[in-house]
Each structure stands twice: as C-alpha cells, then as structure tokens.
A and B are shown apart, each in its own frame.
Chain A
C-alpha cells in the first residue's frame, strides 16, 4: 500500500516553544491512521502543521508526492485535504446550509453527496436553515465533519471528533467515520477516546513530547495492555 502522506524530520516552533521535534510518519492510502498520545504531546500541532496553519520550521511534508510544507493553507486544502479541528469551528453566524455551501468550494452542493451525509446526520437536514450557533455540541460536530466530506477529499485530518460528546452521538460519529473509511477515504485521526480509536484505526502512531514514540497496527496495541499503559499511561480495557 502506498503512503498518501509522509512527514520526514518535521519540526514546528510556536513562538519560542519547540513543539514538534522531528516527526517522521506515513499515512497509507485508504487507511485510518490513529494519532494518539497524552495531552500536550503535539497531536493537534501535527495536524495544524500538515494543513499549514502553523509552518514547519524544518523537515519535509509530502502529499501524494507533492511537497506541501511551504504551501499556504488554502493551497494545501485545494490539493484535497479536509480538516476538522478540535474546536469544530463551525461558522455559528451562518446557517447549516451556508456552512456547507462554503465547504463545497468548486460549485453547487451535490445532491447525492448531501443525501449520503443526511443518511448519517439527519439532524442536519432538519436544521438546514437554522443558525449553526444554535446547534448542540454533537450537531456542530456532525456539521464540522459534513463540511469536510461534502466534496471528495484525498485526505481527512480530524482532531478529536468525539471530545465532550454524549455516548449516543459518539456512536453515530463512529458509524459515520466507518462508512467514510469503507468508501476508501484516507484519514489521519487524533482521538482520546480509545474505544473509538480501536473501532476505527487500522494503524496507530503514538506521540510524546513532540516525537513519534510508537508505530504499529491498531489491533496490536489494543491487544497489548502493558504497552498501552507504558505509552499512554492507561489501558483500553478501562475505557470501554
């Protein structure tokens, strides 16, 4: 399987802080790669560096063979990268429809794609003309993900989509992400919810202090409790 995204020796500084300290990782095409780690390990910074919101101070980032580390964020997005930030970042002053109209960059909304999205997130159809700011946390997260998949993307960068959501919404999101995965999407997914990570992940990367400290199959990590405790300070078994 070819790697869609590769990072080689990537460093990122934010002000005087040296956050990413030589990241090497590869995201295989058509797979869900989980990026795990404790708070402050550098997971969000990794995603933001890939999408260009923070500039890598050193190293190479390659998407499908194209170097992107010095490109501006809009240019990286136009190469087919969708980004779902941790904060959801829906445009609260805009309606659900307007949020999706903006996300469909290259033309009008595609009805087939829209129906597919409504299949997972019927709430979005129901609140089509409601202001996004009035949605609940789970509905905002649905909108944020819908915005990233309203057009075909080569790569999805998703940052903690289940954070702070009710269990029922988490299950709906997991089902949606599974379906996106079945359609062949390549996803780099930051997640603190280990149940979600185990359900979705093909491979896993674990970060600590701005570096990758473990890489392997998600199933192998899920089965190895001592390894989970060593890498993450807790085990999957206690989070089910």
Chain B
C-alpha cells in the first residue's frame, strides 16, 4: 500500500466542476439548435423555474435516501397534500388573491404555503413512525409500505375533495411577464427561481455551517460511525424526514400554482422526475440534486421544443447517459 508520511503535503483537492458546467454547456449548446434567442431565453427561464420547483420537492428525498437508505415511494403524497391544504386557505380568500396588490396576494399566499409545509411535515412524522420505522433496512418492504401509503393518501384526498380538478389560479400580481426587449419572462417563474435558490442556499448554510448540518453530512456518509460517536441518528433522521416532507408540501403548492390546478394524482408524474433527479444527482447530495433538477427540467423543456416525440423518454435517456458517465451520480456522497 502506498502511503504518504505524516507530514507530506496533501495532494491538491480536485475541484469537481464538470457537473456544474454541464447545465451551462447544455444551455449554450441549445442556442444554435433553437435558433431564436427569445425562445431560447424563455425556455431557459422556464427550465430554471421548473428545476427549482423539482429541487425543492426532491431535496428532502435525497437526504432521506442518503442518510437512512430509505426508499420512500410515497414522497409524492406530501406534494399533493401540500397543494390541497393550500386550497383551504386560498379558496376563502379568493378576493385577496385576485386583488391587484402584491402585498395582499402575499398576505394570503405566505400563510397558505406555511400551513401546507406544517401539515406535510406533520404527515411526514406519522409516515416515518407508522410506515417506515418498522421496515428499516428492508427495501422491498419499504417500497410496498410507502407505495401503499401513497395510494391511501391519494384515495383520502379523493374522498375529502372529490375527483374533480380544483383550479388554483395564480395571484393577480404574479400573472403576466416581465418584457425585456422581445423576451417575455413570466413573473411567477422568476419568483419560483428565487424561492428555489433561497432554499438551496439555506440548506447549504445549514449543512456547512452548523453542527446539525455536519451530523447530517456525516450520517449520509457513515451512519454507523455517527452512532458510535454517541449521536442518536434516528432522531436526526426523523427531523430530516419531516423537513423533507414539509419542503415537498411547499413544492406541491408552487407546482399547483405553476399549473394553476390541483388534483390528487398530481404527483404521479413528478415522482418519476424526482427519483431521476435524486439518482443522477447522487444519493444524499444536495448539490447534485440541485444540478440534477436543473438538467431534468432543461431536457424536458428543450427536448419538448425540439423533439416533442422524445419528451416522454428524454429524462430516462438523460439518466442513462449520466449514470454511464458517473455510475453513482454527479456527486457521489454515499458508497451505495
């Protein structure tokens, strides 16, 4: 075995910039293919906004995967529940939502989003205690339990709200676009980008600047050793699970506003995208999840514009390509 002496200088750590450059390169590559600069810019902003929403929904799942090796196929339930709970606040205050005042809109929207996060987070507590706790370390049972939980959640939403699609119109002040030259950038997409970016920065700050974050990062890498140092990782996991569920609830509200509608199975397609993001990002990697979400959204938007027939499989192809390049995802954190 080759071994450096104790005082030998360290090899310079390599900065792994390739994954960061990937979405930039993809966006630049699309300029000549799309032709029109305004279309390219619109699609790029749409991709970034969609990517941020997917990131918000997927960030909790990647930590849950990485930290406790739990396969939660029911993650979509938190998305749908979050969206439905928001309607409870938004419907009675429809007049405030449609008022042409940003502050009045936000005064309703913010409590709706917070309530959705609280309910989804609380649901996360129940799911972890009831469905996941008994099946730690048993992947097949985890899939069965959490898929069953998703079905129960969807059917409960149907029973409570009915099978119809519930409209969720955008607040008046978030409708329309900013016009810059001949480019139109939807206001809501800008808001979604800002919220996604703020959440990404907040998560990074917690993970890198607090002892709690150190524990989460260490737990993702080697949970046994974290326990051997005297930390109760199950409690930590519960906290991460609830936070991830709450973020999924927030993502559900944002996605419902993006599509301007809510229905019980709204998360079905999203769940596939979220799992693709988690896998290509690298299990447990928030940075990978962030880049993965942007890539998935870019491929969906650019692909849908250029080759609509490929839209259905484009993200699967992206996942295959990324995994052939990096079999453990863009940023491998765990050894799994």
Scan residues 200-249 of chain B and give those whose CB is less than 8 A from a CB of chain A.
211, 214-215, 217-218, 221-222, 224-233
Interface size on B, residues (CB 8 A): 28
Instruction: Of the listed stretches A26-34, A57-65, A91-99, name the one at the interface; the rest are far from the partner chain.
Output: A91-99
Q: Which residue of the partner chain, among B5, B11, B233, contacts A166 with CB atoms under 8 Å?
A: B5
Nearest chain-B residue to A150 (Cβ)? B229
A77 close to B229 (CB less than 8 A): yes
Measured in the bound complex, the distance between the Cα atoms of B233 and A137 in whole Å is 27
- Chain B facing A: main interface SS: loop
B4 close to A138 (CB less than 8 A): yes
Query: B324 at the A/B interface (Cβ < 8 Å)?
Result: no
Query: A236 at the A/B interface (Cβ < 8 Å)?
Result: no
Q: Which residue of the partner chain, among A72, A101, A131, A136, contacts B4 with CB atoms under 8 Å?
A: A136
Measured in the bound complex, the distance between the Cα atoms of B218 and A101 in whole Å is 12
A93-B217, A122-B6, A136-B3 as given contacts; A130 in contact with B13, CB under 8 Å:
yes
Measured in the bound complex, the distance between the Cα atoms of B279 and A217 in whole Å is 54
A83-B228, A102-B211 as given contacts; A131 in contact with B221, CB under 8 Å:
no
B227 close to A73 (CB less than 8 A): yes
A134 close to B10 (CB less than 8 A): yes
Scan residues 205-221 of chain A and give those whose CB is less than 8 A from a CB of chain B.
none
Which residues in B have their C-beta under 8 angstroms from that of A137? 1, 3-4
Interface size on A, residues (CB 8 A): 40
B253 to chain A, nearest CB (A): 32
Query: B269 at the A/B interface (Cβ < 8 Å)?
Result: no
A50 to chain B, nearest CB (A): 11
B230 close to A51 (CB less than 8 A): no
A89-B225, A94-B214 as given contacts; A142 in contact with B230, CB under 8 Å:
no
Scan residues 110-134 of chain A and give those whose CB is less than 8 A from a CB of chain B.
121-123, 126-127, 130-131, 134
A-side residues, CB < 8 A to B, are 51, 53, 72-74, 77-78, 83, 85, 89, 91-94, 98, 101-103, 105, 121-123, 126-127, 130-131, 134-139, 142, 147, 164-166, 168-169, 172
In the A-B complex, the 6 residue pairs with the smallest Cβ-Cβ separation, listed nearest first, are A136-B4, A77-B230, A73-B227, A89-B225, A166-B3, A123-B6
Given A53-B227, A105-B231, 6 new contacts (CB under 8 A): A77-B229, A92-B221, A94-B214, A122-B7, A165-B3, A169-B6
